[in-house]
Structure 1
């Protein structure tokens, strides 16, 4: 519980540190004719390449890197589920029929393994589609 709280505090401090440059880059300016009273937030970049560097940095840190991390994680999760599914179906196929084990019990176990794995894969696919959308 204490460790969780420290993670949350660390996340807030880190996000505050990363947003400090915003205070110096952006300012409130009056748009339209003088005295119109309509204000908008504008970026003031010292160098001409500053806006491109800023947009590139924000695009990488807010969109591209998180999407890449999520894609890798979901790919690894899907791969592990697939491996687990293959291992379980192979193990179920190798069960020797003993007098206590009937053919219907074996088939029920194999189909339940397939249903559980299909449900896991469907869940991962749906979550991935939601994140990508």
Structure 2
């Protein structure tokens, strides 16, 4: 059975990058990782030439029912606190979902990293 990658992108001013990372590490990612059916959650950051920081929050889920249990019935609606939304320069108006092959610990992802953090890159 395929897993589901759920991602949402927003943009903030570059100078808010550290504050954003801290908030995601302290609040958002632990909340995602602790949700039943969540297999993995992380945030990706990319500085852009216009002085903004693109942030993608990505999570991998067992199935749509797991996502629905976390996000509610409207799977496309991101849940963002008003004080956080006020700091955004722009945001995607919907959450994206894609089917992906199941995460397989035997393929090089240590099981202990699936519920938190990025796994180290394999040795070359």
TM-score, normalisation: structure 2: 0.22
Larger relative contact order (CA 8 Å, sep ≥ 6): 2
Which structure shows the bigger proportion of residues in helix conformation? 1
Larger Rg: 1
